[in-house]
């Protein structure tokens, strides 16, 4: 009995395996290797099988349910990863940051002489809080808002509340969930304006 004719590597006989892709592609079938955010804001989860044929798009979700949609209506150019959508920064856009908060953090901890020595400024309640922010950043659990003038990431993390101080504009104790991840080899967490936006 003759063997089936070899098919391209990315499709096995029977079609049980699809080419894996981090993006949805026109006129082909892919299995998403990453979750994808569509132009309408909907997220298609990792592992979904997406077939695009002209303007029709069929999504088979990992749980087996399926949905038809108009490719033109949901498409943005290009469709990207949830974390890597256009204009959204990820930790990969910055130099790697060490995993442990440094001694420099003491300049930004409430009640520490190092904070007084630098003349005050924004602070966290403990080094543990700073470590929580750093850990969350490293595993992708923060929202990266942008980068500051020095190129350091500015992030939002609801799990920790710090205090923003900017005496020059009369701010002496403003609660904030927005932080600067300052430094790479010797990182510290600096509370920032809770209304910070990328300039």
Local confidence pLDDT in tens for the 199 residues of the chain: 444 444 444 443 444 567 888 878 788 888 888 888 776 667 888 899 988 888 788 999 988 898 888 776 665 444 444 443 445 678 888 999 999 999 999 999 999 999 999 888 999 999 999 999 999 999 889 999 999 999 999 999 999 999 999 888 888 899 999 999 999 999 999 999 999 998 7
Shared-domain flag, residues 77 and 97: no
Which of 32, 58, 81 is the endpoint of a domain?
A: 81
Using CA of residue 147, residue 140, residue 96, residue 20, what is the dihedral sign? negative
- Say if residue 111 is in the same domain as residue 187: yes
Q: Which domain holds residue 34?
A: 19-81
- What pLDDT shows up at residue 5? 47
pLDDT of residue 27: 84
Residue 10 lies in a domain: no
Distance (Å, rounded) from C-alpha 60 to C-alpha 110? 51
DSSP states of 165-178 as a string?
Answer: EEGGGTEEEEEESE
Is 109 a member of any domain? yes
In a domain, 55, yes or no: yes
68 shares its domain with 100: no
Per-residue pLDDT at 13: 41
Whether residue 103 sits in one domain with residue 66: no
Q: 33 and 61, same structural domain?
A: yes
Give domain status of residue 199, yes or no. Answer: no
- Same domain, residue pair 98 and 186: yes
Stated pTM of the model:
0.57
Please report the pLDDT score of residue 87 as a whole number. 57
Tell me, yes or no, whether 157 lies in a domain. Answer: yes
55, 47 Cβ separation under 8 angstroms: no
Q: CA–CA distance from 45 to each of 86, 103, 186 (Å)?
A: 18, 40, 36
Is the omega angle on the peptide bond into residue 78 within 30 degrees of 0, that is, cis? yes
């Amino acid at each position: 009995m003759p063997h089936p004719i070899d098919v391209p590597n990315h499709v096995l006989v029977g079609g049980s395996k699809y080419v894996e892709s981090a993006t949805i592609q026109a006129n082909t079938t892919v299995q998403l290797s990453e979750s994808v955010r569509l132009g309408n804001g909907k997220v298609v989860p990792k592992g979904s099988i997406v077939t695009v044929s002209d303007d029709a798009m069929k999504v088979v979700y990992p749980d087996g349910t399926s949905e038809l949609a108009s490719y033109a209506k949901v498409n943005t150019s290009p469709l990207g990863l949830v974390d890597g959508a256009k204009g959204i920064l990820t930790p990969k856009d910055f130099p790697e940051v060490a995993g442990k908060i440094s001694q420099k953090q003491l300049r930004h901890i409430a009640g520490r002489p190092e904070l007084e020595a630098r003349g005050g400024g924004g602070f966290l309640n403990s080094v543990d809080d700073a470590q929580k922010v750093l850990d969350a950043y490293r595993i992708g659990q923060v929202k990266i808002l942008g980068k500051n003038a020095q190129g350091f990431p500015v992030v939002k993390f609801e799990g920790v509340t710090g205090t923003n101080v900017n005496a020059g504009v009369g701010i002496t104790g403003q609660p904030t969930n927005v932080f600067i991840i300052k430094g790479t080899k010797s990182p510290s967490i600096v509370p920032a304006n809770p209304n910070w936006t990328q300039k």
